[in-house]
A and B are shown apart, each in its own frame.
Chain A
């Protein structure tokens, strides 16, 4: 990784830790949404374990969707993106660094919180482990894929709705295989297949989304 990418990631992290709200909101959202389900749906442990995989994955997906905007829109409006391009940082570097920083501050805390939520939902040990691993492989894909949608909607006044429409279809495969893996684990089935597909999607999204995001960003700045 080049030194400018590292400098960029450091700056993104510094910005997030300065304004702690943005850092805490997505994780708080994840915890609140998941912990409301036992109260609203049913306190029955068997049924909770049954809905847990879907609930955990949907909540994780939505909190990442919420966090995307803060990493791109302000930088675009403040003129930071064009200054980065002028300073010789390539568009792919910018998108990759931002996606990685986004995952470190939003995705990783979700992954760490997931086992706790698993216990709340009466998941057994193996399913909790698989939930942890599937989120660990799946959430970075969401951050990378999300960057494409963010770059496409840069500078639009009501980009939020459009972002959701553009990005959700691309998020769905990750959601399906992520939730499927946890479900299979709670039914004591094999999970290698699902996790392998998640891994493949991660590799694809890391390789392709910086290219697509960079192209979209250049159109927005042009």
Chain B
């Protein structure tokens, strides 16, 4: 549930690696309650890898990530409780119904609270598909079901990887509105998107610059 205290995500000197090579130039930023950050960059620039490091799923990074002053690498459990991460793979079981999928995740984190799920689906205009198997939904509807979790599971930090993909203009407007509500309640949002998100308040932007591999090799050589 929401805490009244301020929250702070601080990243220092962060580099993310794939096959032992850095993906982008090291970045520093901090994000406090009520702020949103849009991460942009070309395809393959490491946006998804960065997000996975931020939520503690991946440890292929150097530098430090602090959540409320604590390193996330040593407090993974704490930060997991406060994060909702939606990636390209939505984490929905195609054979289960919308309701089964959503209430499963909700029960894992919170006490069962069905009205929240109904409210979320209603806001997303998919309340008629409550008992439909996820496999039978369209790509956009699946995305809407996954996004319903940002309503049904109230946590502080949303990490959304390309949340606008497959959404129609209605859905995109809804998402921007919900993001603003979340920010005004003191939430934090990190998202990636290739389109400009004009509707979100307090949005700062961070563009990932491809890493200079020559300099990286040179530094490596100097160390040896």
A80 touches B93 (CB 8 A): yes
Q: What's the least CB distance linking A84 to chain B, in Å?
A: 8
* Interface membership of chain B positions 196-219, coded 1 if the CB is closer than 8 angstroms to chain A and 0 otherwise: 000000000000000000000000
Q: What's the least CB distance linking A14 to chain B, in Å?
A: 6
A86 touches B55 (CB 8 A): yes
- Residues in B with CB closer than 8 Å to A86 are 55, 57, 80, 83-85
B96 touches A15 (CB 8 A): yes
B93 touches A82 (CB 8 A): no
Closest to A78 in B: B89
B7: Cβ under 8 A from any A Cβ: no
Q: How large is the interface on A (under 10, 10 to 19, 20 to 34, 35 or more residues)?
A: 20 to 34
A11 touches B92 (CB 8 A): no
A7: Cβ under 8 A from any B Cβ: yes
B109 touches A87 (CB 8 A): yes
Question: Considering the chains assembled together, what is the distance between the CA atoms of A88 and B77 in angstroms?
Answer: 7
Question: Considering the chains assembled together, what is the distance between the CA atoms of A79 and B133 in angstroms?
Answer: 17
Q: Select one of A18, A84, A88 contacting B81, CB under 8 A.
A: A88
A80 touches B91 (CB 8 A): yes
Count A-B pairs with CB separation below 8 Å.
Answer: 67
Q: What's the least CB distance linking A48 to chain B, in Å?
A: 40
Q: Select one of B85, B94, B100, B108 contacting A88, CB under 8 A.
A: B108
B57 touches A85 (CB 8 A): yes
- Residues in A with CB closer than 8 Å to B55 are 86
Question: Considering the chains assembled together, what is the distance between the CA atoms of A4 and B89 in angstroms?
Answer: 22
Question: Considering the chains assembled together, what is the distance between the CA atoms of A77 and B96 in angstroms?
Answer: 16
- Residues in A with CB closer than 8 Å to B77 are 88
A82 touches B96 (CB 8 A): no
Which residues, 95 to 122 on B, are CB-close (under 8 Å) to A? 95-96, 100, 104-105, 107-109
Which residues, 83 to 104 on A, are CB-close (under 8 Å) to B? 83-89
Which residues, 18 to 62 on A, are CB-close (under 8 Å) to B? 18-19
A221: Cβ under 8 A from any B Cβ: yes
B89 touches A88 (CB 8 A): no
User: Which among B83, B87, B91 has the greatest number of chain A C-beta atoms within 10 A?
Assistant: B91
Q: What's the least CB distance linking B86 to chain A, in Å?
A: 9
B87 touches A4 (CB 8 A): no
Known contacts: A88-B108, A222-B57. The answer to whether A82 contacts B91 by CB under 8 A is yes
A83 touches B105 (CB 8 A): yes
B96 touches A14 (CB 8 A): yes
Known contacts: A4-B108, A87-B108, A89-B108. The answer to whether A11 contacts B93 by CB under 8 A is yes
- Residues in A with CB closer than 8 Å to B108 are 4, 7, 84, 87-89
Q: Can you identify 16 A-B contacts, CB atoms within 8 angstroms? A: A7-B104, A7-B107, A14-B96, A15-B95, A18-B133, A78-B91, A79-B87, A82-B91, A85-B57, A86-B57, A87-B105, A88-B77, A221-B57, A221-B58, A222-B59, A222-B60
4 closest A-B pairs (Cβ-Cβ)?
Answer: A79-B89, A83-B91, A18-B95, A79-B91
18 additional A-B pairs beyond A88-B80, A221-B57, beta carbons within 8 Å, are A11-B104, A14-B100, A15-B93, A15-B96, A18-B95, A18-B96, A19-B95, A75-B93, A78-B89, A78-B94, A79-B90, A79-B91, A80-B91, A82-B85, A83-B85, A87-B108, A88-B77, A221-B58
Taking beta carbons and an 8 Å cutoff, which residues of A are in contact with B? 3-4, 7, 11, 14-15, 18-19, 75, 77-80, 82-89, 221-222
